[in-house]
Amino acid sequence: MKILLIGATGQLGQTLIKTKPQNIEIVECSRSNIDLSNLELINDFILSSNANFVINSAAYTEVDRAELESELAYQINAEAPNAIANSVSKTKGSLIHISTDFVFDGTKNIPYNPKDYVKPLGIYGKSKAKGEEYVLKLKNNYVVRTSWLYGDFGKNFCLTMLRLHKEKSLAKQPLRVVSDQIGAPTSTYSLSRFCWKIIDSLSKSKIIPSLLHWSDAGVASWFDFAFAIGEIGVEKGLISEAAKVIPIKSDEYKTPAKRPHYSLLNCEESTNILQENQFHWRVELKKVMDEIKLKNFK
């Protein structure tokens, strides 16, 4: 089975490559061989790949910078997925498109269901919501929303916090982290397993919903996540000492883009239909820390 992976050099793309099943052949697609602003090139690349499935893990994820670079954000997060979906529709393949909890405004106090009304707060969320809309207009396309994605590769909250714990503890300075934004950290390994489960199910002609939610189990604030990263980082020997983590309110940490205060995703339908187990985010965090350790984190 052949998979065209768009965004192959990103943190999710790298994990998908690392965890691919033996019967899968991956055609890697990254910035070096496809320009997501060139819609004609996207079409030609997809048609020539002859892939059974296309996974689009590419995205413009700079939430704050998107407020200044809205045209670029929409190009990558909306227009490119639209072109990808239209190209895939010309083949007999299916598209799996990765989206985000930021399509919601965070005003609920219970987990968001896949069919809940989207109301993004900033350009990043709005561009991703538009991308979803384009992808879901066509048959055989699937959107997977996830939250607070991190792994052992690239730029993400986990690796950033590990470095800050190391720096701040040496300087005897506290680490101030927002405590009133609630969600679920999700490891790239967990999301990769879920993507491979979708492909396995579809290849066996199983009918699944076109819009799915997936995150790791449990609830956390960014403060909780940062605290756990320090604690487990010491436990795994990645850092010698964790910095003191001080909870602060969002109002004390002004950013150009508004974030949802509550963006927990209801994954019950995904776990029931695909029979995929959710593990607590701390369990998944420990696994990612082990992978980071193998890379000799410094």
Q: Which residues are catalytic?
A: 124
| Structure-token pair, residue 33 | 């061989």
